[in-house]
Amino acid sequence: ETGVTQSPTHLIKTRGQQVTLRCSSQSGHNTVSWYQQALGQGPQFIFQYYREEENGRGNFPPRFSGLQFPNYSSELNVNALELDDSALYLCASSATSGSWDEQYFGPGTRLTVT
């Protein structure tokens, strides 16, 4: 158990819709990163938030956006869903920005876009 939780566990959406995924970090962890993991592939970095500000972004379009709140929770929002957005979405929290060895991952949210 990493102390990082995500909700919902599974989600089915239709192409063109919008979705919000939620993550609750470990208490005291002010950095959260989000990853997309397609079936059979490794996780791909979407972006990182540090103290409620975006602090780095991978190769994902602007329709992927996020929010981080002072209570150690965060959200990943995806607009105009596409079929290729179907994946496992993982969040990972850490105590400091850039501490890649101290990332604690949640179990993920599996999103299916039909």
**Min separation Cβ 114 and another protein, Å:** 22
Residue 85 and residue 78: Cα distance in Å, rounded? Answer: 9
Beta carbon nearer to another protein, 43 or 66:
43
Beta carbon nearer to another protein, 18 or 112:
112
Binding site for another protein (CB under 8 A): 2, 4, 33, 35, 40-45, 48, 56, 58, 90, 92, 100-108
- Residue 39 CB partners (closer than 8 Å, separation 6+): 87, 88
